[in-house]
Amino acid sequence: MPIALDNLRVGRVYRLVNMGEIRMIEIMARLGGDNFKIKDLDTLEYYTIYELLQWGKGKDYDLEEFR
């Protein structure tokens, strides 16, 4: 069962699976509500959690703490 977005914590690393993509992300800052600035640990790019989920959540959606 995936973790709810409002339970994410700054500084923690999570594994996000959505629509066939697996990403390791680190939460950098809380922007408000349940939107976060995140760092993709594979590409080292920064973006928001809303940018990752803007096209919806697939049947394989999962979000779990990695460390």
Q: Is residue 2 within 8 Å of 53, Cβ to Cβ?
A: no
pLDDT over 80 at 1, yes or no: no
Confidence of residue 42 (pLDDT cuts 50, 70, 90): very high
Domain ranges of the chain: 5-65
Give the DSSP H/E element, type plus range, for residue 49: helix 49-53
pLDDT over 90 at 33, yes or no: no
Task: Give the residue-averaged pLDDT of 5-13.
Answer: 93
Nearest residue to 8 via CA among 43, 47, 29, 42: 29
- Cα–Cα dist 39/35, whole Å: 13
